[in-house]
């Protein structure tokens, strides 16, 4: 035990450098993974939240109450997006300008879809256009984009299936189909090996 403290060998130096590197990199990697998981969960819940926003705005709710209502309703699907909507609603109720609250929401989430949605909301409030029509058009565009992403993933899946087929399924099929024939050939052609006639 005393050698560990008094002798500093090159191996120990390399181990210390490796551990320091791990200690430096692992927290950043962990935070990046958590943030990416949070963003992907919000990205999946956003089209449903947008549809709820369209329904709320078309039924006559104001934009502030729409954010509160959608935040309440979307909580079972994704609590992160619900918290972001609630926080934006609280900022607006506290007196912060709507444009700044919407910009902060897009910065906090880090999603381009949320940024596009907040830009649309800012522009409709600035130019006085219909929020319901803008939200409906944006919801339709997001639905089309979601369908296109699903079709793209489905098209890529056939290419991704090639390697499991080649390495795992084809050898098993080959053994099942060729195995009995190989045993018959071995027993007929090589009587010593197969113990045949």
Continuous H helices in 59-194: 63-73, 79-93, 98-109, 112-127, 131-160, 162-164, 170-189, 191-194
The maximal CA–CA distance of the chain, rounded, in angstroms, is 98
Residue with tokens 């600035």, as numbered in its chain: 126
pLDDT for 68-115, tens place per residue?
Answer: 898 888 998 888 989 999 999 899 888 888 888 889 988 988 888 889
Is 193's pLDDT higher than 80? no
Least confident of 64-68, 135-139, 148-152, 183-187: 183-187
pTM of the model: 0.66
């Amino acid at each position: 035990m005393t050698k560990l403290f008094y002798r500093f060998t090159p191996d120990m130096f390399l181990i210390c450098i490796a551990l320091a590197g791990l200690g430096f990199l692992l927290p950043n990697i962990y935070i990046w993974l958590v943030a990416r998981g949070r963003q992907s969960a919000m990205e999946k819940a956003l089209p449903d939240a947008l549809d709820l926003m369209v329904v709320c705005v078309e039924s006559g709710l104001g934009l502030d109450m729409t954010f509160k209502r959608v935040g309440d309703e979307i909580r079972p699907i994704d609590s992160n997006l619900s918290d972001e909507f609630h926080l934006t609603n609280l900022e607006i109720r506290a007196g912060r300008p709507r444009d700044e609250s919407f910009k902060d929401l897009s910065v906090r989430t880090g999603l381009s879809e949320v940024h596009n949605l907040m830009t649309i909301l800012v522009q409709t409030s600035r130019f006085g256009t219909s929020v319901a029509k803008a939200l409906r058009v944006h919801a339709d565009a997001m639905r089309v984009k979601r369908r296109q992403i699903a079709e793209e993933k489905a098209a890529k899946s056939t290419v991704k299936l090639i390697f499991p087929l080649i390495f795992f399924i084809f050898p098993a099929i080959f053994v099942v189909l060729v195995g009995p024939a190989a045993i018959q050939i071995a027993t007929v052609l090589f009587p010593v090996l197969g113990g045949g006639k």
